[in-house]
Chain A
């Protein structure tokens, strides 16, 4: 009897450990194509799936499998996590849910009780969970970090990270590394002082903080005139990527505050609009690269960095690639941040080019003025926060882009805690209606291989798969499948509302699914 009990305990224990998402599993997420374990699918940020059941030859046969209604309004920006047949997602107003990934039926729902007044610049959104062991981690709109139990959705821990009364809000999907949960703040439109935090996944204790605006005595502080650092912005609201061999986290930062007026904050304004390489254990800065120094156009660098090992100019290098909101595609050496290459991937007028050190050559005739100055790309960027995708099959980077140019009209402001702090107004150039496209860029040359036109500027990114297809969503509600090599349209479906996120792929019972949020629902598609 004792032996049987021991055996039962052993088996039970074994089953539990198998169902847990260990750091080892996250490290090797590419070995589990049936799952989607991190925001970008794997630490390298590729948003690429090796599943190939859905391919160029059969994508036109896709059928809806289920839809899940969140039951709330506003932009639905989640990237779900999928583990062994269970899908975990977050929704508007800090809702969350777990679903049977095969049927879309809910296992549990979570709704955070939020304070009455919160100030996310751009909607009561959340971009997803991170998972580690049997816990899900969420960064909340009231600037807390919380852990939920994967089986029940019960709250395990809840820590205050920042003061939401000062317009700190969180919308980012955390990144789980080792036993850490890493998040970055939003609030760049309200004069917050940005930071990136790491929390102990077990206890919620804060392990380190990196201030993205250096204080007195800190390196980089001299890049802020006077006291402007105190309201310097530089938020960090998009999930970074991670190189376990170098033990470096790559986390991009956003605009300096005020976002569109530089008069009171002379200097380069470090570490706004940067790529930061932080030691994963300590949060110490290993290197940085600033894409848009002293930005006045709101060119947040908050685009997912892609990590790629490839030959560069004849020798193997560890590369970091980013299609930046300022309109340039950058290639850096991710061991030391050395600038290797930049090339515009659309219409850029704010800079005439990038010099050999990676600094923009400014178009000085386009200073923001009280009368209004037309600048391309507009404040919303040639691309934005929605994820790009890199396919190792095609060597192409898939980027959703916008043609919008804006007329910037300066309107200096005085900082008031918790209030908008923009310093300018921008409106789309009334002479041309902005459109968009999904572009395929060869990362080895920066040249465009194909472009698929959208009628409107996009809000959703791209997912590429080993089926040689790219899944994308447009702002007019179309979920679209394209040939990854040619951009040829294979299939689309109208989902009835704008798509504000990017697809993921997973597999249950031998069937490949793709899931995309649109409106307030999550839609799952598969072959018949």
Chain B
């Protein structure tokens, strides 16, 4: 069906060009601006410089926000993946109403309006007096849970049950079978789930909006408050570019480990 000279082909080609321009150009402008030597926003910038990256690491609040976001993403992704893996291994071979309900529950944070979850968690934390850091960590872990769950579930469902049965019939107990047979076979799913949960936590806005506090702010929220209250300083472009750079590294890692196609089809 190569029909690039038909009306339909022309329509599809035009729409695709417009869509990619609208999606990619704003991101490209941010990245190019980050290397600007100018004092104020000017596009295209006159020359190249790293001054705004230097400024980013000189500013204590930016540096702290970056460190907090990294720390949160590492811990939250690990927590999400452990919980998601447990749930996925349990549900991989189960059918029925209970299994369906559990699966829906573990995937719910994916489509649930996270801003409402943010309000609900803030209210709960205020009631029980939860400190900021563990509160943020648990919120990020819940939001990352569906990613860890879904990728491990896909891996576990494609697993041949005979392998686990072989482990058990050769005398391995359930725990040994889990660690020596099942986990080595689904590790690709576990690792790509972790990377996705990391990415989601690193860019999280809607719960962090309510749960961060004075002196303890994540990078996306720091960028947001800079944009709201200090105008568009170019250090924001550098902060954004660091965010984008880290994501590119993570996506490259996912692509090497499992191939991104599986994730897209699993959507």
Q: Is chain B a partner of chain A in the same complex?
A: no
Chain A: residues with CB nearer than 8 A to chain B? none
Chain B: residues with CB nearer than 8 A to chain A? none
